[in-house]
Amino acid sequence: MRVILAAFYLIGGIGHLLIPDRFLPIVPDAVPFPRKVILATGLCEIAGALGLLTRRFRWWAGLALAVYAACVFPANLKHAFEGVPVPPLPESWWYHGPRLILQPILVWWALFAAGVVDWSFGQSGAKTREPRSGAAKRTANDGQGHL
């Protein structure tokens, strides 16, 4: 899943750098210097994709890509609700509806692929931390109560 997500962001980032003018129509009006923002986000997507493929930067890359996916949501909304054509993307709600619904999943996917969260949206199973106080963990079956 991490490699697929990295490929997705790598392709998207390259697209932002090679054809930034295609993305200009969906940039919300409140965003200053839209062309420069598109180029910067392309670099961020590429850096995030490469970071996902490393152990050293994976956690931070996943966190950054999740924030990025949340930040571009207004552009997705503008694209959908204002009917802004962005060739070769489809202009129908068969495209926009699933894309808008899947945006939160894309945020989660970045966090999951980086080991920031696990399937249950809790701490990553691979990096579960021990309690800082040194106290033994309590379970639902130890008679100490439930969470």
User: Domain for residue 71, yes or no?
Assistant: yes
The token pair that represents 84 in the structure block: 């802004």
Q: Name, in order, each residue with C-beta under 8 angstroms of 141's C-beta and a sequence gap of 6 or more.
A: none
Query: Which pLDDT band, with edges at 50, 70 and 90, does 89 fall under?
Result: confident
The residue ranking higher by pLDDT, 29 or 124, is 29
**Residues of the domain holding 21:** 2-121
User: Domain for residue 21, yes or no?
Assistant: yes
Which of 87, 13, 86, 66 is CA-nearest to residue 43? Answer: 13
User: Domain for residue 97, yes or no?
Assistant: yes
User: Domain for residue 138, yes or no?
Assistant: no
User: Domain for residue 140, yes or no?
Assistant: no
The C-alpha angle 72, 42, 37, rounded to 5 degrees, equals 65
pTM, whole model, 2 decimals?
0.77
Q: How many folded domains does the chain comprise?
A: 1
CA dist 44 and 41 (Å) reads 5
User: Domain for residue 26, yes or no?
Assistant: yes
